[in-house]
Amino acid sequence: MIKTRFAVSPTGFLHIGGLRAALFQYLFAKSQGGTILLRIEDTDRERFVEGAVENLLHSLDWAGIKFDEGVVLDNSSNIVQNGDNGPYIQSERLKIYQEHIKTLLDSNKAYKCYCTKERLDELRKSQELNKQPTGYDGKCRDLNGSNTNDPFIIRLKVPEEGITEFQDKIRGKVSFDNKLIDDQVLIKADGFPTYHFAVVVDDHLMGVTDVIRGDEWVSSTPKHILLYSAFDWPAPNYAHIPLLINEKKQKLSKRHGDVSVEDFKEKGYLPEALINFIALLGWNTGDDREIFSLQELEKEFNIEQVGKAAAVFDRTKLDWYNKQYIMKLDTNSLADRAIPFFVNTGVVKGSGEMGKWGNEGIDLKKIVKLEQGRASTLVELVENVGFVFADELNYEPELLVWKKSTREDAKDKLEELLQILELIPEEGWNQENLQKMVFDWIKEKSYSTGDVLWPMRVTLSGQKNSPGPFEIANVLGKNNTISKMKHGISIL
């Protein structure tokens, strides 16, 4: 059975590229009826960040990617390890690595290297100076059996000749000349394994059949394959997915905007929109379909259809996706999802659960509907409807004047309109009635619609762009509408 893995270093946050790797690994496994595990690669102690694992797991959980095995969150959000091949945290597997390195030393496939950092620095400098490829020169390769007590590292004895090749599911056949492969370090001076050693031992012992990862790991793969053969283990299948770049063809980095999954969550992107968007970064079904739920992706995904070229992370397209998904939500769920954002801005006080906010008379459903179909993110939505909560709006009187009209005319129209609206009873205060009453009157008087609806809308929203006046009046209710219009009249 197919088994993939998300092997992640807890360096602080989940990069969007990491989420894409996890998604492709997940989709590949699910599309073949397989499973996926999550492993924490924390052997680089210098890069370890407190709380990073929790962060990672929460981000993945938010995105909807569930793991069958490995490090997961339980129902109470505690970190637990699931499965028979654990531990799934590399720093808890040191004994396993020690046992396995012994096998390689005994079979003369690996060797202890006593070279000092100074010697290695010197070596690199002189190689650079002589324009030679940099790498270890093999000084300790044949020191067999040396028992000195000096500190050492352990290196793989890479064959000096031949080629190492593999069939990549995306890139096709990839070959490397062994001459150019360094005698890579397997165990560091602190006794910890390197990434290369741990990843091979773990993938093998955990039964991983398919390694799917970012392109930046391609040059590591021959090292891994050599290690598999040193152990006499079959190597897994490989697929290296192309990099993500920004519109300027640069690597996606924090310097150029949001890159962590948490950033996108905080900006009010819906997980299903983000997932849909990143699934189509470098992959498509070959037709023009663009909208896929995670369940649909699980059925449709095919790793061989992933393109070889770097994929552009087009933020405008992401906004388009998010807007589509916001539009598709039923208004109750939209209100539900927007609550934390309303709570953040302070206009809604509440526990964050649907229906539990404290402010009286606020119907979030009606309010979010104003922007459903207009806003691209939940943050934008909440900002855009901020005027609904304001007691008094702040805007320049000129804003109330439609095109070639005048302040006097705007004032006259608003005053007349106020009289019409006051006639509508509270029970009949709804969008349809309002619209009908106002339009009948406009027609009767042969006014231009702009001269009436523009100032009306601005008194209610205080903004140049906003939802229509009847939608807003309906949300505000009769008293609030009347008082906002009176304020508009008073400043003209």
Q: Which is nearer to ligand GLU, 7 or 38 (CB)?
A: 7
Is residue 208 involved in binding ligand GLU (CB under 6 A)? no
Among the residue ranges 1-9, 269-277, 442-450, 455-463, the one whose residues contact ligand GLU (CB under 6 A): 1-9
- The two structure tokens encoding residue 395: 């805007």
What CA–CA distance (Å, rounded) separates 428 from 438? 14
Mark residues 350-389: x for contact with ligand GLU by CB under 6 A, - for none.
Answer: ----------------------------------------
Q: Which of 62, 192, 217, 231 touches ligand GLU (CB under 6 A)?
A: 217
CA distance 362 to 345: 15
Sole window of 2-10, 171-179, 273-281, 347-355 interacting with ligand GLU (rule: CB under 6 A): 2-10
Asked if 320 is part of the footprint of ligand GLU (rule: CB under 6 A), the reply reads no
Q: What is the DSSP letter of 134?
A: P
Active site residues: 254
Does position 41 interact with ligand GLU (CB under 6 A)? The reply is yes
Binding segment for ligand GLU (CB under 6 A), chosen from 6-14, 310-318, 379-387, 427-435, is: 6-14
Q: Which is nearer to ligand GLU, 169 or 365 (CB)?
A: 169
A 10 A CB-CB count for 373 gives: 11
Retrieve residue 302's tokens: 């095919």
Binding of residue 8 to ligand GLU (CB under 6 A): yes
Assess contact for 170 and 241: CB atoms under 8 A: yes
**From 4-12, 175-183, 301-309, 462-470, span contacting ligand GLU (CB under 6 A):** 4-12
Site size toward ligand GLU (CB under 6 A) is 7
Query: Under a CB-based contact definition with an 8 Å cutoff, are residues 377 and 273 in contact?
Result: no
Distance, in Å, from the CA atom of 39 to the CA atom of 471, rounded to the nearest integer, reads 51
The CB-of-464 to ligand GLU minimum distance in angstroms stands at 47
Q: Rule CB under 6 A: choose which of 4, 9, 384, 481 binds ligand GLU.
A: 9
**b/e per residue, 71-104, with b = 16+ CB within 10 A?**
bbbeeeeeeebebebbbbbbeebeebbeebbeeb
Measured torsion, CA atoms of residues 409, 411, 417, 418, in degrees rounded to the nearest 10: -170
Q: Compute the least distance from the CB of residue 203 to ligand GLU, in Å.
A: 8
CA distance 326 to 267: 13
For position 199 contacting ligand GLU by CB under 6 A, the verdict is yes
State how far the Cα of 478 lies from the Cα of 432, in Å rounded to an integer: 14
Residue appearing with tokens 């905080």: 266
Options 3, 213, 369, 413; binder of ligand GLU; rule CB under 6 A: 213
Which residues contact ligand GLU (rule: CB under 6 A)?
Answer: 7-9, 41, 199, 213, 217
